[in-house]
Amino acid sequence: ALEKKVVKSKVGEKVGLPCCHEIPSSESLHNYRVYWQKNTTEVVLAYAEGKKISQNEHYDNRTGFDDRNFTLWISPVKILDNGTYQCVVQHLRSSQNPVVVCDEPVAVFVTADFSKPDVTAEVSTNSCESTETVVRCSSHGGFPKPKISGALNNVSVVWNANWVSESSLSPYNVTGKLWLNMTKDAIITCSVEYNGFAKSTSLLLKKTNDCGVPTVPPSYNVITASSIIIVIFLLAITLAARYLPRHVCSHCCKPQDSVEEGGKECVKLPVSSKVTSETSSV
């Protein structure tokens, strides 16, 4: 069994598939018949005596051919180009049947980049001791079928993964789900790995319940009662300030008969007359 040559390429790039024979400088393409075929049954491109004799419609306007070393060029590369190709070269000799001088396989691995993983977290249940969280990681549009891996605080975790693709040669969408019982803040990392490539995203997960005593706002009835008490207190102070001076004056003065009819006058008695009266009585 011949060891396959391996060629890797990404969707949209140009790739060259090497053949196993090169024409000597003394000869030309007219002395050869060349077949490039895929999976031993599908002819991609064929030349005989220097002329193109066949080409698969899937490769129309996407292939090139080197007439010295028979390299097959494909551009732009598509996912459907993934597979094993065969370069078969026959030498055309006069008076003899064609002789096979080259027949070797070439494996083409096509890669389509996945999107950067999108990591989200949703709290399912919460308590003072722990927070149960559902973490989801998703990526799409890539090829081949990826592997999804990750870590929680640098410790590996196993995702419950699900892949969706229309066929084995179609882009993949992948979703991973993880259930965590968190007792403290943590960092979760999700990685999507495919054909030697990888893309990763990290997310800080916070434990949402700190078990602190919640501050309860006063009820509506308490606020209403407090407001009424404050209003009554202010009214009492206002009334006291208005009527207290008149009440004191009524105890400090005596009415006089010499005032006009219908009225009273508050007059303090002279100190000197009071002393004279006491002296006379003695």
* Contact (CB, 8 A) for 93 and 99: yes
Angle at 12 between CA 11 and CA 13, to 5 degrees: 95
Q: Mind listing the pLDDT tens digit for each residue in 26-53?
A: 888 999 999 999 987 899 999 998 899 9
Q: Whole-angstrom Cα distance, residue 208 to residue 184?
A: 9
Q: Which pTM does this prediction carry?
A: 0.66
* pLDDT confidence of residue 106: 95
Which pLDDT band holds residue 267 (cuts at 50, 70, 90)?
very low
Please name each of the domains of the chain with its CATH number: 5-111 (2.60.40.10), 115-205 (2.60.40.10)
In terms of C-beta density within 10 A (0-12 exposed, 13-18 middle, 19 or more buried), how is residue 271 classed? exposed
**Of 88, 115, 82, 76, residue with least CA distance to 33:** 88
Q: Whole-angstrom Cα distance, residue 116 to residue 137?
A: 10
